[in-house]
């Protein structure tokens, strides 16, 4: 019987939770949400390690790296937090519109979707009225070149063009990993390198996410080499936010010590 290699992240998850909870009380949203997302990623990876799903682990690691990079970016550029929330408002509106667009294609072949269509159009207009800031409402109306947010034959194509071409919804800054990385100041005083996180680990994990043929057809085992890579990625994911927060928050030193012990035990074995 082949010996199954795994890794228990319970201590790391507990230590991260205690430190991140302290940080969250001091920084507020939206960065606190990103820290919660990281804890969720760690819990998922813990389960996937136990169940021996290596490809899925790399997919979750990709998302975790994205969360970490965005957290660090918003920490360095706090003025971008308002833009981040604002862009997310527009993307929520876009998501409903895409559902409507897909439903419209179905309706060409079947007339049984009237109720669903009415529900989605109502939701689209509700999000516009209740979820978008006044600035975003005006931005959407002006950029779409429509008079009001009503889905009609006259406005549908104009709204579609807006969502296809507008930079804020096509590729907002928080989805541009390389650009955010390029704008982060280096942590030269502590000799911390972010390049391998963004351009090495993240690159491979992205390939798995997007269905790289050989990474899904060639056998991938959770062996010593795989676990070593996972442990280093996890160490970066949980510690880089602290490095960029240095001097901005107060954290109980006992909690910091426990987190350091958890990360040291990952990479020093």
pLDDT tens string for the chain (269 positions)?
345 677 889 999 999 999 999 999 999 899 999 999 999 999 999 999 999 999 999 999 999 999 999 999 999 999 999 999 999 999 999 998 998 888 776 655 555 556 677 787 888 899 999 999 999 999 999 999 999 998 887 889 999 999 999 999 999 999 998 889 889 887 765 555 556 555 677 778 788 888 888 878 888 888 888 998 899 899 989 999 999 998 999 999 999 999 999 998 887 65
Domain identity same for 36 and 144: no
List the helix and strand counts (H, then E) for the chain. 14, 0
Q: Which domain holds residue 26?
A: 10-79+174-267
Contact 129, 149 (CB under 8 A): yes
Domain identity same for 197 and 261: yes
Domain identity same for 29 and 152: no
Closest among 221, 220, 243, 240 to 232, alpha carbons compared: 240
193 part of a folded domain: yes
Distance CA 241, CA 69 (A): 8
């Amino acid at each position: 019987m082949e010996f199954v290699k795994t890794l228990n992240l319970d201590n790391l998850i507990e230590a991260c939770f205690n430190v991140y909870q302290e940080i969250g009380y001091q920084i507020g949203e939206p960065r606190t949400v990103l820290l919660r997302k990281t804890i969720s990623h760690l819990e998922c990876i813990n389960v996937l390690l136990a169940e021996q799903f290596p490809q899925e682990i790399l997919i979750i690691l990709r998302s975790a790296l994205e969360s970490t990079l965005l957290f660090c970016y918003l920490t360095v550029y706090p003025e971008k937090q308002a833009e981040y929330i604002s862009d997310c408002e527009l993307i929520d509106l876009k998501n409903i519109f895409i559902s409507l667009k897909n439903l419209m294609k179905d309706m060409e072949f079947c007339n049984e979707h009237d109720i669903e269509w009415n529900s989605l159009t109502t939701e689209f207009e509700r999000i516009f009225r209740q979820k978008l800031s006044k600035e975003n409402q005006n931005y959407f109306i002006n950029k779409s070149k429509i008079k009001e947010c009503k889905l009609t034959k006259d406005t549908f194509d104009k709204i579609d063009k807006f969502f296809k071409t507008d930079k804020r919804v096509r590729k907002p800054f928080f989805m541009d990993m390389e650009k955010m990385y390029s704008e982060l100041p280096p942590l030269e005083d502590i000799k911390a390198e972010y390049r391998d996180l963004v351009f090495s680990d993240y690159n491979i994990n992205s390939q798995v996410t997007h269905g790289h043929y050989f990474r899904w057809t060639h056998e991938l085992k959770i062996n010593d080499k795989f676990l070593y890579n996972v442990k280093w990625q996890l160490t970066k994911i949980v510690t880089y936010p602290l490095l960029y927060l240095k001097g901005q928050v107060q954290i109980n030193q006992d909690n910091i010590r426990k987190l350091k012990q958890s990360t040291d035990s990952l990479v020093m074995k």
